Structure 1
């Protein structure tokens, strides 16, 4: 009988907490779902790292995990036996260390890919600035892109998170699929009753309730949020803007809001628990999400926000354009144009029936992209390729 083991190589590391595994919570949630749907054992090959590398982590007993955690060596062929006895390997295409897997095993490999070369280069420039070191890193990335494309051509399939990665790499694979990553389960998504309540609140004409969630760093464009609020104030639009998250720009943003006289309208709440606080807050008290992302990485934020019945107005990076194309769920404006962002929000605030239609559309579109649906589609894709 042939093996039915699924081998997964996440990009996140693991650490030890005494005799327990210290693992990324989101990775564990996904692997548990894989284990529930895959008709065999799931083996997770992970590199050992420092606990500080796992931002949202938790300690787990091995006996409580429905998948095996196996330490991975540095050399590509260190775990050859773990690859060779499997039905299929699901590897991280964004990780340079995984690109050699098709060279070291005959087991079919499917790569997950999230970022395009353009996005990687933009993220590097935004995070490090234009320096000689940045230029050298960019040159190295361009050279390694040839390895990535060669690996994808050798692989048995490709799972692309978001439209930019799918559009860039699908032609290299005989079996590509696109998905939109999310943590939102069906039970967490806004119900029809919750959508109706939000629509009623919007149509009542109260000040528009805006939200942003994410890391408060320049790469997320959060340095534009207070200038956006100032521009929106100048349009005469009544609003409040709730910002959830933490990061290096939080203090500066708070100071800027206070100095602009917007301290009562721009409210920074810090990092809050996703399930217990952020999701119910967005479902109950947010009409529109303001997305200032400058880069086109396939952030979970997009689909998770729509799942709360909250449409998006944001910069037209390639990832958001792919989301907006799914339906009447978003408005894109030119990159870095704070005034255009404010005008778009002002128009929707003035046209409440149009905003209500977008809220309904957000709730509808997200139904097809729940956490359960996405993982099921990805497992079905793997089973078709592995023929199990």
Structure 2
């Protein structure tokens, strides 16, 4: 703290600490100090704020804005009071712009990022989309201003692009993914802190990074994890269960692989397992998926429950299930893996790199080769026949839920961020009593 004498007036000053996020995740302004956000994003922002324990005076989110009269295609949004929550939202551009409409606005987006970065203590960015590189423009503005940077890469978009577009615009996507890889290498070599999620991203980029850390992006609270006594009640009831209750959580889009979950359930039933599947989520593929359920004659055994707001109620709802299915063929890093274990629900999934790393490190599920629905059905049958194995996986899942609670991961991240700020030295100041 500094003291400045001006004639007979002594003004005390305190350091201003501003956390700036430049990010592609949109917000929807609905009143001067109120926005709508996806419920899981609202949860993430609160966790970020709380992890610093009041060390930052301002949290600014610079992002695309959804028009006030537009519908949300994703999960049901929640209202977020900027004043009550301690956040400011800055519109960078309209959400959902096509590439040819974004780039004429890119210089203005960069100028806004540069203005905001000039007043920031740290800038948090990512790299989601080269066609509309909002996160990269934010990083570039912060890097040129000499502000400490946090770069977050939580999905292997390069492997994902290769997989999803192998037969469609192949050369275009090959070029895109290689350019993205080179740009990410450039960023991690300069970012003060790079958070890389999962084994593939760490293998791909950590050797180029100035300061890389592995992390998991969890959102469940430690107090949401099923208590030990309830876990024991759950496993005590497993030997008497007449139905294997399975669940899937996520957007209803083709890349999530729900088709293969249905095939696995159908195959498991043919093997004599009384398996049922509830689907939590919404999306454009619901009609197609419902048609597939009817064709597989699974109508009585598969239910579509619609979307849910993210929170403790979702974890409590998940806790009634015995198994969660993940059958995407693509390299993803689903947060729902940890929502499952928080609810003491083991996982049955395809052996993509991230899913395999979580299941093997935590002993909380079973794996099948990617695309092998029959193999997954055989694993489901194995669990049904060996209840002791299912009981062990259920207990392990609850333990993993506690170890990976969001508070623990966000606290680690806060410590890493404070280290890079301390290393950078400077902080801006504001008179005590001044408006933050």
The alignment's TM-score, normalised by the length of structure 1, stands at: 0.90
In structure 2, relative to structure 1, the CA distance for the partners of 1:45 and 1:267 (3 Å cut) is closer
In structure 1, what is the equivalent of residue 64 of structure 2?
48
- Whether 2:262 is the aligned partner of 1:226: answer yes
- Whether 2:117 is the aligned partner of 1:87: answer no
* Alpha-carbon distance between aligned partners in 2 of 1:149 and 1:21, rounded to the nearest angstrom: 37
- Whether 2:90 is the aligned partner of 1:70: answer yes
Which has more radius of gyration? 2
What does the per-residue CA deviation read over 1:103-151, in whole Å, with 9 as the maximum and x for residues that have no partner? 42211111000122433314642xxx8333x642442332232122101
3-state SS in 2 of match to 1:187 = helix
Displacement of 1:317:
0.8
Within a 5 Å distance, the mapping from 1:1-388 to structure 2 comes to 3-24=16-37, 25-38=39-52, 39-51=55-67, 52=70, 55=74, 56-72=76-92, 74-75=106-107, 76-95=110-129, 96-99=133-136, 100-101=140-141, 103-122=143-162, 124-125=164-165, 130-132=167-169, 135-275=171-311, 278-284=314-320, 286-387=321-422
What does the per-residue CA deviation read over 1:55-91, in whole Å, with 9 as the maximum and x for residues that have no partner? 3433434322312323347433433242133322111
* Alpha-carbon distance between aligned partners in 2 of 1:136 and 1:277, rounded to the nearest angstrom: 43
* Alpha-carbon distance between aligned partners in 1 of 2:222 and 2:40, rounded to the nearest angstrom: 16
Contact 2:215 2:409 in 1 (8 A): yes
* Alpha-carbon distance between aligned partners in 2 of 1:327 and 1:20, rounded to the nearest angstrom: 43
Displacement of 1:369:
1.1
What does the per-residue CA deviation read over 1:253-279, in whole Å, with 9 as the maximum and x for residues that have no partner? 333333433322222222234437532
What does the per-residue CA deviation read over 1:143-163, in whole Å, with 9 as the maximum and x for residues that have no partner? 232122101101111112333
* Alpha-carbon distance between aligned partners in 1 of 2:202 and 2:407, rounded to the nearest angstrom: 21
Query: Over aligned residues, Cα RMSD in angstroms?
Result: 2.4
In structure 2, relative to structure 1, the CA distance for the partners of 1:386 and 1:143 (3 Å cut) is same
Contact 2:324 2:345 in 1 (8 A): yes
Q: Tell me the matched-pair count.
A: 383
The alignment's TM-score, normalised by the length of structure 2, stands at: 0.81
* Alpha-carbon distance between aligned partners in 1 of 2:267 and 2:361, rounded to the nearest angstrom: 29
Structure 2 stretches lacking a partner, 5+ long: 2-14, 94-105, 424-436
What does the per-residue CA deviation read over 1:228-285, in whole Å, with 9 as the maximum and x for residues that have no partner? 122112211222222222233323333333343332222222223443753222112x
After the TM superposition, which of the residue ranges 290-299 and 63-72 deviates more from structure 2? 63-72
In structure 2, relative to structure 1, the CA distance for the partners of 1:357 and 1:365 (3 Å cut) is same
In structure 2, relative to structure 1, the CA distance for the partners of 1:246 and 1:16 (3 Å cut) is closer
